[in-house]
Structures are given as structure tokens and as C-alpha cells.
Amino acid sequence: MSKIIRFPVARRRPHVLLCRDDAWDSYRVEAIHFPCNPGILKWFDDIAEAFDHALYVSEKTGLPVIDLTEGRGAVA
């Protein structure tokens, strides 16, 4: 189960990032500041699929998720 953390969050700590990548016109999910396989970086067209993947990566790595998509502003 993911835990909820309110902003502000120290972004220098390891976390899973979910954000809108306007350059690729898609959503990006990646592990930040975490020594891991570079395969934990994916792009998605659908926000629901991206959010599900971010939660999956969070559960696998034990890191919190920071959701920076427009209108959400939540950390899970």
C-alpha cells in the first residue's frame, strides 16, 4: 500500500516521478535519485495507465510517488 505525503517534499530524496512531458506529448514515469535499472523510465499516452505504472514502480522500489501532472498535485 502506498502512503500519502503532503507537499512540500524534498525532491532530492529518491522518489517515483509522474509528470506530463510536453516534448513527447505523453506522460513520463521514472525513478529519480534511485540506483536502479534504467528501464524504470517509461512514457504513456493515457494518464490512468501512467498512474497505475507509477504505483507499481512505487510498490516494487518502496519509494513514494510524486504526481506533477496538471490538476493533480498529489503525492502517493
Any domain includes 52: yes
d(CA 57, CA 17) in angstroms, rounded, equals: 10
The more confident residue out of 37 and 73 is 37
Any domain includes 3: no
Q: Write out the three cell numbers for 56.
A: 507499481
Determine the structural domain holding residue 20 and report its residue range: 15-75
Average pLDDT of the chain to the nearest whole number: 79
pLDDT tens string 10-29: 556 788 889 888 888 899 99
Any domain includes 2: no
How many domains does the chain contain in total?
1
Q: Write out the three cell numbers for 39.
A: 528501464
The percent of residues above 70 in pLDDT, for the chain, comes to 71
Any domain includes 40: yes
What confidence category does residue 68 fall into, taking pLDDT thresholds of 50, 70 and 90? confident
What pLDDT does 50 receive?
93
The more confident residue out of 12 and 61 is 61
Any domain includes 53: yes
Any domain includes 22: yes
